[in-house]
Structure 1
Amino acid sequence: MSGTTRPRRTGLLIAAVIVVVVVVAAAAVMIVRTDDDPTPAERPTPGGVMTGQADQLADALTAQRMECSVRYTFTQAAVAGCFGQADNGDRSTAVRFQYTSDGAVIAVDATSSSEQPTALATLVKATASVVFPDDADAADAALASAGSVQPMARDGRWGKYKAENSVGGTTFSAARTDARPVTIPSQEMTTTAAQLQDALQAKGFTCGAVKAAADASCGSTYRDGKGRVRIRSYSLGPKLNAGGVTILEVSAEDASKDRTAAATEQAFTDVTATALGAIETEARDDLARWAEQHRDGQFHSAYVGGWRVTLSSVKPADTSVPLAHRLRVVADTNWNTPD
């Protein structure tokens, strides 16, 4: 710009305008979203490393008995999540967050399967202590309004906050003022629900008719019919029934009084291998490896190859013998924003 042959005043004016444009563009940080924006998206790399503030947030949430991992890494941003459960598996919680390449957190999306906003209070407080300590009151006010007829977004020094609750649970979202969204690619398996059903029927499973949203369920029994295994899949991507599986659920359950932990565990191990062996996705080997490494009867949840994977067990209060073991593989849900 300094070498321009235009008059000095004009050159300085143009240079100033360009500098302003560049600074504004640089200040607009990316927030990852998962809607159907037609703009071509950067293809991210599954997994990654948390640094700086993102790593500090993960530490704070791990202290709340959550498990944290990175879903995707982009050139200038990344998206990660921490997951937990309570009430013997009856309530699940998640705190997903996005951060820049230097680790600065720019967006938060927290959810609870509980319809009571207080179920997220501890997690929002832990998040605020790391990411937006000066806006703790604004975040609390947003969460407190979740149960109102028209929840109001709250503005703070760091950004904007909003919480809502419904039959499906409670959400709390926060976005830094200078953040802008970027689309990530949708995710689905190569295998359709119908193809998975055909493969399972060939292995002796009994399957029902494929329903709306490609809801397909196949089952079998073990221990002389006392126990039951089930593999259920859904296709909820843009193509619905014509698309690949986006949710895979695997379970082994035995509610009989003489059930044994060993029999239920073996049935679950076998049905998990059958389910993962019948699907086609780039992450299949990684999913199988993660499931094998974390099959200890405890709750575990992480991003594996971009998929959110959860292992859980149902244990009655009066005995240590599990009623059921469950595996869930799901393409992550859309991002909630305070807009």
Structure 2
Amino acid sequence: MIGGGVIGLIVIGLLVFLGIRAFGGDDEPTTQPTTTEQPTGQPTGQPTGEPTGNPTTSTSGGPGQNGELGNATGQAKTATDKLQGLGFGCSDLFNTGQGAHRGCFKTDGRKGAEAIFQFQSDGTIIAVRLQAEDDDNFNNAQVAFDQLLQALGNDTFGADQVKKVQDAVKTGQRSDEVGTTWGEFQLSNQGQSVRLSGHKSGEDSLDLPDQSFDTTQAQLVTALKAKGYVCTTSCKKDVGKYGYQRVFFYASSGKGIKDIEISASGEAGDAKKALPAALGDAFGALKGGNVEAVKAYVEAHNDGKPYSAYVGGWKVEISGNSSASYTSQQVSIEYESFYA
């Protein structure tokens, strides 16, 4: 039998052993080994942006006077940028993966200029129509035409071929064919108007999509008569002392309207009120054919200045003239035709 003294020594020894374990720690480590911190950025050998090898397209100058202006590269973008730099407003009749039809316009009363051109998806220009006119100064018409020709032609036809056209214009007022390495041109020089059209050799111009309003001539006449218009070859309503508001239109029998002109004239105060009224009557009767887009464009450009643009598949022109006693304003909405 073990004595009490021995038991006491054993208990004291056990307590000392446990105390050493508590303060000295385990033999096994209580934390994991420290690892090297991983980098938080991308490896320096990888690109941080989009690949640069893919071709890019850019919109040339934004919307042309609220008409839609789509993408263009190459010759088409260069020509557009140069024409916009000369004060032209540019817009597209259409712009698809197969190609585009673009117009750049500048009008000012009795003078104006336009560059119409078609191009493929890579920007190659394949057909053109250039025209400048000035009813008051024949020389100014030629100067304006030469600006158009150089802006579009130097990079498209080549400067030496542009000179061939310039030389033909200098020969005087006549119609002529001008052959170049780019293609064959038809030149018409009437003095107050100079016009050039042609297409690239081996290429055909693009077909234009058909465009018309759903409203027929008979339906429009009925609607305008109900508004108090007298309709013969056009529909007309008297305004003020000697003014009038008029709606003139064209359509094949039983077909939708393809051309319409809304106008007002008379004393300035009368005409200013009459044109919005005539526009409201016409737009209220027209259906289909992107009429809402055309209406919005016309309403956004009612400051009395001239405008031309492709809008909703139409060529829209706003023009007019005024004096102290007389004002005339017109809005023309036409189906575009193009021969080159």
TM-score, with structure 2 as normaliser: 0.70
Q: CA deviation at 1:145?
A: 5.5
Q: Name the residue aligned to 2:311.
A: 304
Q: Is the 8 A contact 1:146 1:163 kept in 2?
A: no
| RMSD of aligned Cα (Å) | 2.6
Q: Secondary structure at the match of 1:190?
A: coil
Q: CA deviation at 1:161?
A: 2.7
Q: CA deviation at 1:222?
A: 2.8
Q: Is the 8 A contact 2:103 2:114 kept in 1?
A: yes
Q: CA deviation at 1:187?
A: 2.0
Give the counterpart of 1:122 among 142, 147, 171: 147
Q: Secondary structure at the match of 2:205?
A: strand
Larger Rg: 2
Residues 305-332 of structure 1: per-residue CA shift (max 9 Å, x gap) = 110001122133xx4x871221000001
Q: CA deviation at 1:264?
A: 2.8
Q: Is the 8 A contact 1:128 1:136 kept in 2?
A: yes
Q: Name the residue aligned to 1:56.
A: 78
Q: Secondary structure at the match of 2:204?
A: strand
Counterpart AA for 1:241: S
Write the mapping of 1:251-266 to structure 2, written as runs, cut at 5 A: 251-254=263-266, 256=267, 259-260=268-269, 263-266=270-273
Q: Name the residue aligned to 1:68.
A: 90
Give the counterpart of 1:248 among 260, 285, 303: 260
Q: CA deviation at 1:297?
A: 0.8
Q: Secondary structure at the match of 2:336?
A: coil
CA change 1:277–1:145 in 2 (3 A) is: farther
Residues 136-187 of structure 1: per-residue CA shift (max 9 Å, x gap) = 2123234446733x5122222x333331246995420132224223423332
* Structure 2: tracts of 5 or more residues without a match: 1-66
Counterpart AA for 1:51: A
Residues 22-59 of structure 1: per-residue CA shift (max 9 Å, x gap) = xxxxxxxxxxxxxxxxxxxxxxxx95513223232122
| 1:155 to 2:177 alignment | no
Q: CA deviation at 1:231?
A: 0.7
Q: Name the residue aligned to 1:288.
A: 295
* Structure 1: tracts of 5 or more residues without a match: 1-45, 209-215
Give the counterpart of 2:236 among 207, 219, 235: 219
Q: Is the 8 A contact 2:229 2:235 kept in 1?
A: yes
Q: Name the residue aligned to 1:277.
A: 284
Q: Name the residue aligned to 1:141.
A: 167
Q: Name the residue aligned to 1:171.
A: 195
| 1:268 to 2:275 alignment | yes
Q: Is the 8 A contact 1:161 1:175 kept in 2?
A: yes
- Distance between the aligned counterparts of 1:285 and 1:47, measured in 2? 14
Q: Which has the higher contact order (CA 8 A, sep 6+)?
A: 1
Residues 273-308 of structure 1: per-residue CA shift (max 9 Å, x gap) = 111111122311001100111111111111111100
Counterpart AA for 2:288: T
Q: CA deviation at 1:245?
A: 1.6
CA change 1:125–1:323 in 2 (3 A) is: same
Residues 74-103 of structure 1: per-residue CA shift (max 9 Å, x gap) = 3321001011223xx223322101111122
Q: CA deviation at 1:195?
A: 2.0
Q: Is the 8 A contact 1:142 1:162 kept in 2?
A: no
Counterpart AA for 1:59: D
Q: Name the residue aligned to 2:123.
A: 103
- Distance between the aligned counterparts of 2:278 and 2:149, measured in 1? 37
Counterpart AA for 2:129: D
- Distance between the aligned counterparts of 2:218 and 2:169, measured in 1? 42
| 1:324 to 2:328 alignment | yes
Q: CA deviation at 1:246?
A: 1.5
Q: Is the 8 A contact 1:145 1:163 kept in 2?
A: no
- Distance between the aligned counterparts of 2:230 and 2:187, measured in 1? 43
CA change 1:168–1:198 in 2 (3 A) is: farther
CA change 1:146–1:128 in 2 (3 A) is: farther
Give the counterpart of 1:193 among 217, 224, 244: 217
Q: CA deviation at 1:106?
A: 2.0
- Distance between the aligned counterparts of 2:78 and 2:281, measured in 1? 39
Task: Give the number of aligned pairs.
Answer: 267
**Identical counterparts, % of pairs:** 25
Structure 1 moving runs of 4+ over 6 Å: none
